[in-house]
Amino acid sequence: MFDFDHARRHMVEAQIARRGVKDPRVLEAMRNVPRERFVDEGYEELAYEDSPLPIAEGQTISQPFIVALMIEAAEMEPSDRVLEVGTGSGYAAAVMGRIARQVFTVERHARLGETARRRLEAIGAGNVAVRIGDGSKGWPDKAPFDAIIVAAGGPAPPAALKEQLDIGGRLVIPVGGERRAQRLVRVSRLSATRYEEEDLGGVMFVPLIGEQGWSDTARPPCRS
């Protein structure tokens, strides 16, 4: 029988800690969330490989290192209220739920959102709420948030998400003019009108589709 516990511990040490993720809360959360419960049937034994895996609706479950990197960049505290845009499989929300007080996650694909909700309920993630809708507009009724993580790449940080950050809050989002090649950016809200932006490196995510992201029918821009 495949030893998922051993594979999970090895993933954290070999793929995440050795590559520079140091936040002990992130490492401990990823040691405890069963990623095999969030992949599609038949992919369970690949759950701890250092790569993304396909899920429904043409989406992916991000590679473990990227999940850890983004959560660490968001600098989450146990008292934080967190928004995730792009629930996908539900795995990242489950990890964040082990760190933050409350997690709100928005998924535009109803099928993915409902599946993620069932998976989260099955592992007892009672502090994670799932909503079906346009994540590029955030979740205004639950704002402000201490941290926002966007698991899809947009042309720019959506104004709605920036406005839903609390003062001192952090938004971590892939941004770029190419729909599948971006820079990972952290936007910190310094005051009601001031934001600071940091470039955390190159990444590749599915496009952020929505009113404040890419159009569902838009063609990607040409390379210059």
Helix (H) / strand (E) containing 66: helix 64-73
In terms of CATH architecture, what is 4-203? 3-Layer(aba) Sandwich (3.40)
Question: Which parts of 92-206 are beta strand (E)?
Answer: 102-107, 128-132, 145-150, 165-178, 181-189, 195-203
Q: What is the pLDDT of residue 222?
A: 33
- Is pLDDT above 80 for 219? no
**How would residue 1 be classed by pLDDT, with cut points 50, 70 and 90?**
confident
Digit-coded pLDDT (tens) for 137-184: 999 999 999 999 999 999 999 999 999 999 999 999 999 987 667 999
- Looking from the CA of 64 toward its CB, the CA atoms found within 13 Å total 30
Give the pLDDT confidence of 84-143 residue by residue, as tens digits.
Answer: 999 999 999 999 999 999 999 999 999 999 999 999 999 999 999 999 999 999 999 999
The predicted model scores a pTM of 0.93
Could you give the angle at the alpha carbon of 158 between the alpha carbons of 174 and 86, nearest 5°?
55
Does the pLDDT of residue 82 top 90, yes or no? yes
Residue 54 has pLDDT above 90, yes or no: yes
Catalytic residue among 51, 62, 136, 224: 62
Query: Is position 79 annotated as part of the catalytic site?
Result: no
| pLDDT score recorded for residue 220 | 42
| pLDDT value at residue 224 | 27
Kindly indicate the confidence band of residue 190, based on its pLDDT and cuts at 50, 70 and 90.
very high
